[in-house]
């Protein structure tokens, strides 16, 4: 499978579909397959590049300090190495934090920007949640089990979690089947979440931007909607009323339909 050298590391990616490029950036600890429910839908109209971030999946996991700005430079380098001049860019959570830095610092590379479950800067509450996950990862000695036991309950509403245990088990099995970071690698990548602060550069984003939240998300709740929409000129806001942090899993059909509509409106406009 394809790997390119960019910004000093190997970056692994997969490609499907045809049309204008779309680069999809994963969330914390996840590899590119986290968008398994979105890739095929988007690939009907776009060439979809799903990328493993530094510190996760099959991309490089060097030591050192990770920041969301550094991850954005990795993606910019990946695009150059892969011959992608411009692309639509989408990400959820850490992927969104990375995407906003990319769009702010490399506006010439971004046709449109989709920020899902995003936040402009980590606040005390978000950091408290992250510190809990880091403690759990160390205690379990397994990022895989920490994601299943510690992160997954934050990603879905209590109603879905309680009423569809077989679906939750399917998601857990999916996590167990993916290449997951070691604990020290997770600690480096999660540091990028703890220190994320793109407040000063959001006004530099010029690409058409979609911002989405789950109404019941607590970690990146709609408390961040105002700061993001006011800072990014002309941005659009969607709130998925029946979802928590991961509408990509909780209401796949509605999420895909509404986000693809945004992408399609801005396809062929570059």
The pLDDT tens digits along the chain (270 residues) read: 699 999 999 999 999 999 999 999 999 999 999 999 999 999 999 999 999 999 999 999 999 999 999 999 999 999 999 999 999 999 999 999 999 999 999 999 999 999 999 999 999 999 999 999 999 999 999 999 999 999 999 999 999 999 999 999 999 999 999 999 999 999 999 999 999 999 999 999 999 999 999 999 999 999 999 999 999 999 999 999 999 999 999 999 999 999 999 999 999 865
**pLDDT score recorded for residue 270:** 57
The string of pLDDT tens digits covering residues 164-183 is 999 999 999 999 999 999 99
Q: Looking at residue 49, which CATH number applies to its domain?
A: 3.40.50.1820
**pLDDT score recorded for residue 115:** 99
| H/E segment holding residue 89 | strand 87-92
| 85 part of a folded domain | yes
Which structural domain, as residue segments, surrounds residue 72? 3-265
d(C-alpha 96, C-alpha 236), whole Å: 15
| H/E segment holding residue 157 | none
Q: What are phi and psi for residue 259, nearest 5 degrees?
A: -75, -35
d(C-alpha 31, C-alpha 47), whole Å: 18
| 74 part of a folded domain | yes
Dmax (CA) of the chain: 50
The tokens describing 45, both together, are 């109209």
**pLDDT score recorded for residue 268:** 85
| 150 part of a folded domain | yes
| 270 part of a folded domain | no
| 41 part of a folded domain | yes
- Domains held by the chain: number: 1
């Amino acid at each position: 499978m394809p790997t390119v050298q960019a910004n000093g590391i190997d970056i692994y990616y997969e490609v499907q579909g045809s049309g204008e490029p779309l680069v999809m950036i994963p969330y914390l600890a996840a590899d590119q397959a986290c968008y398994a429910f979105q890739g095929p839908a988007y690939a009907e109209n776009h060439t979809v590049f799903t990328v493993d971030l530094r510190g996760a999946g099959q991309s490089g996991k060097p030591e050192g300090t990770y920041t969301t700005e550094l991850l954005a430079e990795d993606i910019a380098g990946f695009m150059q190495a892969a011959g992608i001049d411009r692309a639509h860019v989408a990400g959820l959570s850490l992927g969104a934090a990375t995407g906003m830095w990319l769009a702010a610092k490399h506006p010439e590379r971004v046709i449109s920007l989709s920020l899902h479950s995003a936040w402009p800067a980590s606040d005390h509450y978000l950091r408290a949640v992250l510190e809990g996950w880091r403690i759990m990862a160390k205690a379990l000695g397994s990022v895989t089990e920490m994601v299943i036991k510690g992160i997954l309950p934050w990603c879905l509403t209590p109603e879905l979690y309680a009423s569809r245990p077989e679906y939750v088990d399917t998601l857990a099995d999916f996590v167990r089947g993916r290449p997951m970071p070691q604990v020290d690698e997770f600690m480096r990548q999660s540091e990028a979440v703890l220190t994320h602060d793109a407040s000063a550069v959001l006004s530099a984003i010029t690409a058409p931007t979609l911002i989405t939240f789950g109404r019941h998300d607590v970690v990146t709740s709609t408390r961040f909607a105002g700061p993001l929409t006011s800072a990014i000129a002309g941005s659009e806001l969607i709130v998925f009323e029946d979802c928590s942090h991961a509408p990509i899993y909780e209401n796949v059909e509605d999420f895909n339909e509404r986000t693809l509509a945004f992408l399609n409106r801005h396809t062929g406009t570059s």
